[in-house]
Chain A
Amino acid sequence: MSSERSLSLKKSTIIDVDVHLQIKPAEVAEYIEEPYRSIMTKSHIGNPLPDSGWDRSMAGKIERRQVQGPEDIHQKLCEEFHINHPIINAFGKLGKASMTKLAVSLMKGYNDLVLEKYLDGYDHFYGLISVATQDPEAAAEEIYRVGDEKQFVGVFMDNTGPNPPLGDPRYDVVYRAAEDKGLPISYHAYDSGFIVDFPRQNAALETFFSVHVLTHPYAHMLTMTSLFEHGVPEKFPGLKFIFLEGGVTWLPYMMYRLNKIHSIRRFDAPMLKKTPEEYIRDQFYVSTQPIGEPNNQDDMRKIMEVIGYDRMMFSSDYPHFDFDHPEGLEKFLRVNVPAKDRKRVLETNARGVYGI
């Protein structure tokens, strides 16, 4: 590849905080005791931690990339990508283990494997400690067991699966152990368990605080994604779509993530003729309430500028408990944005969209 890229990257030191291993069942089996070793190698269903059936390759448009061992990581990441320090996680998907005891056994196996095969021989590699959240006591013990290894620099939790969700007090023992060892927690989701596990996790939220924080943006994200999956804005170019009561700040994240994934996987949403952002900036609107409340008010101005004052319409949601009084938003807009843009949010966008 280009020497131009190499020259510029060589000047920087880069730490890559999310490097996954692809450890085969037979490989980790060597690091665990019976009977779990045999479960990993003799199970009649093949891999006891099965992946989902989703085709990442888009029918072979792109090849599957594999990382086979530490030398491969060194070659591909450190040499070709100029990563000085990869922080490796076993990506064991322990949440998929059908038995808690298997998950606990695998947890130790993955950590011993990472330590022996990846960290011991490669001083520039770092690693994250795998934990089986099914058994928080065992997870805490594991952090105390390997937490003093200098190259283990954090704890890795897969957060698609743990039920109840990972703030529950039953996990405090794990967080205390990590804090004792001075190790940060890294969370990572994965696609393969999401469809099954996510509803279960949602059902385990305990307060209306959680339900209300998540309901509106999640529902809107899901709806918006579905509209793009099937090309609805392309099919009905004269139609406008308004997302109420989610506030505004979720929109930039979705706009850019949809852009990114669509460009990679146009295969899955081929009805679209433009980037999702172009449709959003033409046909989509958000209502302002409940307006996000950054501690620094100027942050909201920056986000609104990214969204564009032509995409937002004032809403109060009165009499609901988290209503926004127009005075607050009007004052914010008066102080922070030009008069013509203030008028758009408070009045003229809605006039145009609803034909008033």
Chain B
Amino acid sequence: MSDHIVAEVSEIKDGERILVELKGREIGVFYLDGGYYAFANWCAHQGGPWCEGNLTGTFSGKFDRSTLEYRLDWVKEGRILNCPWHGWEYDIKTGICLSRRSVKLPAYPVRVEDGKIIVTL
């Protein structure tokens, strides 16, 4: 395990990301709502470059059994990453796949020191 300075904080705006190569691995570093998240650029499905996908919202379904009313809400705008190959959806803040809750992408610790973003790998 070692620390790697990947960028200055000013280099990643809110809702944006950078791709870096650390120890031969492509890593996506995201900045969202004041938090940093780092993942390998490797989708659990077929190895697609998921960190390069579009950030969107997603549908969340709600059902009331007593009234039989069901509603779809568009939620988490800007927080759901869609793998560009097949659209597997992941929540950036957790790395969890929305269609397969047991699938969680390995995340790397990220911290900020003296205005520098540091990923531990």
Contact surface of A with B, Cβ cutoff 8 Å: 1-3, 5, 58-63, 230-231, 234-236, 262-267, 270-275
Contacts and interface: CB of A to CB of B under 8 A. Distances in A.
Given A231-B61, A264-B88, A267-B87, 17 more contacts: A1-B47, A2-B42, A59-B56, A61-B82, A61-B89, A62-B53, A236-B65, A262-B99, A263-B45, A263-B97, A263-B100, A264-B86, A264-B87, A266-B58, A266-B98, A267-B58, A270-B58
B101 interface: yes
A265 B87 contact: yes
Contacts of A272: 99
B49 A63 contact: no
A234 B63 contact: yes
Contacts, number: 71
Nearest to B49: A1
Most chain B beta carbons < 10 A, residue from A62, A230, A273 = A62
Given A263-B100, A274-B101, A62 B49 contact: no
Contact of B47 (A5, A60, A231): A5
Nearest to A271: B61
Nearest to A1: B49
Contacts of B59: 266-267, 270
Interface residues of B, number: 30
Interface string B46-66: 010100011010111101010
A265 B88 CA distance: 8
Nearest to B44: A263
Contact of B84 (A2, A62, A263, A266): A62
A271 B84 contact: no
Contact of A62 (B63, B86, B99): B86
Contacts of A63: 54, 84
A59 B97 CA distance: 19
Contacts of A273: 101
B1 interface: no
A2 B61 CA distance: 36
B54 A62 contact: yes
Nearest to B97: A263
Nearest to B84: A62
Contacts of A58: 82, 87
A62 B101 contact: no
Contacts of B26: 1-2
Contacts of B85: 62
Contact of B63 (A2, A5, A271): A271
A79 to B, nearest CB: 16
A129 to B, nearest CB: 30
